[in-house]
Amino acid sequence: MKAVFERLSPRQRSYAAAAGIALISLGAGYGLSMLGGGSDDGDAAADAGCEEVLYWYDPMVPDQRFDEPGKSPFMDMQLVPKCAGGEAQAGEGVSIDSAMVQNFGIRTAEAEYGVLEPETTVTGTLAYNGSEVAIVQPRAGGYVQRTYGHAPQDLIARGAPVVDLLVPEWGGAQQEFLAVAATGDAALTSAARQRLRLLGMPEGVISSVARSGRPQSTITVTAPQSGAITSLGVRPGMTVMAGQSLAEISGYSPIWLEAAVPEALAGSARVGQPVSATLTAFPGERFAGRIIAILPSAQDASRTITVRAAMPNPGLRLKPGMFAQVTIAPERREALLIPSEAVIRTGERTLVMITQESGGYRPVEVRIGREAGGRTEVLAGLAAGEEVVTSGQFLLDSEASLAGIDVRPTEDAPTTAGENEAQANADEPRTYRATGTIERITAGSITLRHGPVKALEWPAMTMGFATEGPAQVRGFQRGDRVTFTFVQASTGPRIVSIRKTGQ
C-alpha cells in the first residue's frame, strides 16, 4: 500500500487523504448513533411528560398519526405525543396531563348569570302619523266659491275653514222647511227638518235657518283635525260632488319614527319597547319613544324589517322626513352567560368543553342565543357554575373525537338552584318607581311626563301607561304631580300604584 501511495502524484495524494478523512468521519458518526439510538424519541417523550408514547400527531390534523417525532408535514410546528395515560377515563372525558395543560395554555371560565343588553343602533326616518289622517269631503255637491289660500304642506288648525261651497239644491229644500214651519204643524215641521238632514245639511245650518227665517245655501267646510295638508284637490270655481276628496290632513303629534332593523337583529325588537333617537337638526338632544308596531314584511333590497315607534312632538319641532340615528334598548333579563370564545361551532351543532369534577374534559352540546360584549347567552345545555374551556378547546375537542367521547346532549344539563331562582324572578316582573306629572287620563290609560328611570336607562319623556281601570286613577286630574310604580308587561308598561306627591 505504501509503494502504491509513493507512486501517486502530489495532487492524487491530497485527494486520497481527503477521501480517507471522510470515511473515518462517517464511520464515527454511525457508531455514535448506534450507541445512542432512540435518545431523540426518549427526550421528546420526557419533555412532554409521557412515560409511554402511543403515537405522534399534528393537533391541526389529529386523524393523521406518526410513529416518530419531528416536524409536521402539514403545519409549521412540532408533532405532539399521544401519551398512554391520556385516554378517556371510563369513557367519560378526555384526561390531559398537567404539563400538557400548561403547554397548551388551557384556560377556563365559569358559566354564570348576568344581564346581556346589546343595544341595537340603526337608522330611521320621521314620518306622518298614519293613524291620524283626516279626509275633507263635502256632504253635498255644489260650486266652490272660496278656498282661503291654502297650499299643500301648510299647517292648519282644527276648525279652520278650508272651502266655501254653494249648494243650490239646499235653497229649495230650506224654503219648503220654512213654509211648513210657518203652519205650526209639529209633525210636518219635524218631517221637513229630517229631509234637510238627509240632504247632508249640518244641524247647525238647519238651526240657523229656523232662527233667521232665511235660506242659507252656502256652507263652509272646516278642518276636522290639526295637522299638515298633505293633499289638496280643490280650486276656486270647481264643481264638486258629494263625498269628493277635497283635502287630506295628516297629524304628526305624536310623530312616527320608522327604523330599518336588520333581519339578524329583528328578534330583539318588541312592541312596547323603548327607543331613543338623535337628529342632526338638534345636536346634543335625545328624543324618546316607544315601539308601536313591527311591520310584517321585509325589504327585499336591504333585508331589513321596519320597526315603527311613536314619539311625542311638543311644539311640532320634529318634522316628517328628518333622518335619525335610533337606539333600541333591549329587554332587561337575566341569562346564563359564557365567554364567546368558548363556543365551538361545527356547522351541525354548537359545543363547549367543560371540566369535570373527576378531572378531564368533556364536550357538551348547547343552544345559544344573543351575543354582545364578548359574552354569549346559553339557552340550554349548561348549568350555572360549570367551568367551560375558553382557550385550547379545539385541541380538546379533537382529542375527544379521537377517543370516541360521547357529547352530552342539551337535555342532560344539570339544574341548579340559581336557574330555579332566575325562573321565579322571570315569572314575577320587576317593579320600577318614578315621579312625573299627569298629562292625560282615559278609561284604561294615563299619560305621564316623568323623569329618568335609571334602572331601565330611560331618559325623561312623556308616555302612556296602562291602568287597572278608572278606579285606580279616580281623584287624579291633569297637572297633578305624582309618584308611581309600574311593571314592564308583555303589552307595555302598566301602573301598579300611584299617589300624589306629598301624600
Q: What is the pLDDT of residue 62?
A: 63
Q: What is the pLDDT of residue 495?
A: 92
The stretch 180-200 carries a mean pLDDT of 87
Q: What is the pLDDT of residue 101?
A: 60
Q: Which residues pair with 180 in a beta bridge?
A: none
Q: What is the pLDDT of residue 118?
A: 61
Q: What is the pLDDT of residue 80?
A: 75
b/e for 343-354, b at 16 or more Cβ within 10 A?
Answer: bbeeeeebbbbb
Q: What is the pLDDT of residue 30?
A: 41
Residue 428 and residue 272: Cα distance in Å, rounded?
A: 18
**Average predicted confidence (pLDDT) for the chain:** 78
Give the count of beta carbons closer than 10 Å to the beta carbon of residue 476.
15
Say yes or no to pLDDT of 5 above 50: no
Strand segments, DSSP code E, in 280-341 are: 287-299, 304-311, 323-328, 334-339
Residue 502 and residue 273: Cα distance in Å, rounded?
A: 31
Say yes or no to pLDDT of 7 above 60: no
If one compares 363 and 406, the residue with the highest pLDDT of the two is 363
| CA quadruple 30, 36, 37, 41: dihedral sign | negative
Percentage of the chain surpassing pLDDT 70?
Answer: 75
Residue 436 C-beta-side C-alpha neighbours within 13 Å: 27
Q: What is the pLDDT of residue 347?
A: 74
If you search the block for the grid coordinates 280643490, which residue do you land on?
A: 234
Of the given ranges (201-215, 222-236, 305-319, 352-366), which has the lowest mean pLDDT? 352-366
Q: What is the pLDDT of residue 59?
A: 66
Residue 129 and residue 133: Cα distance in Å, rounded?
A: 7
Of the given ranges (37-46, 66-75, 446-455), which has the lowest mean pLDDT? 37-46
CB-based contacts of 8: which residues, under 8 Å, 6+ apart?
16
The per-residue pLDDT for range 14-40, each reduced to its tens digit, is: 545 544 544 444 444 444 343 334 445
Of 291, 373, 370, nearest in space to 326 by CA: 291
Say yes or no to pLDDT of 331 above 70: no
CB-based contacts of 178: which residues, under 8 Å, 6+ apart?
209, 210, 213, 215
Q: What is the pLDDT of residue 208?
A: 86
Q: What is the pLDDT of residue 125?
A: 93
Residue 405 and residue 354: Cα distance in Å, rounded?
A: 13
The per-residue pLDDT for range 90-148, each reduced to its tens digit, is: 345 666 655 566 666 777 888 888 777 666 788 899 999 988 899 998 888 889 999 89
Confidence of residue 154 (pLDDT cuts 50, 70, 90): very high
- The alpha carbon of residue 146 and the mean position of all alpha carbons in its chain are separated, in whole angstroms, by 52
Look up residue 382 and give its three cell numbers.
Answer: 349548561
Say yes or no to pLDDT of 63 above 80: no
The per-residue pLDDT for range 437-473, each reduced to its tens digit, is: 999 898 888 999 888 887 776 778 888 898 988 888 8
Q: What is the pTM of this model?
A: 0.48
If you search the block for the grid coordinates 233667521, which residue do you land on?
A: 212
Say yes or no to pLDDT of 50 above 80: no
Q: What's the Rg (C-alpha) of the chain?
A: 42
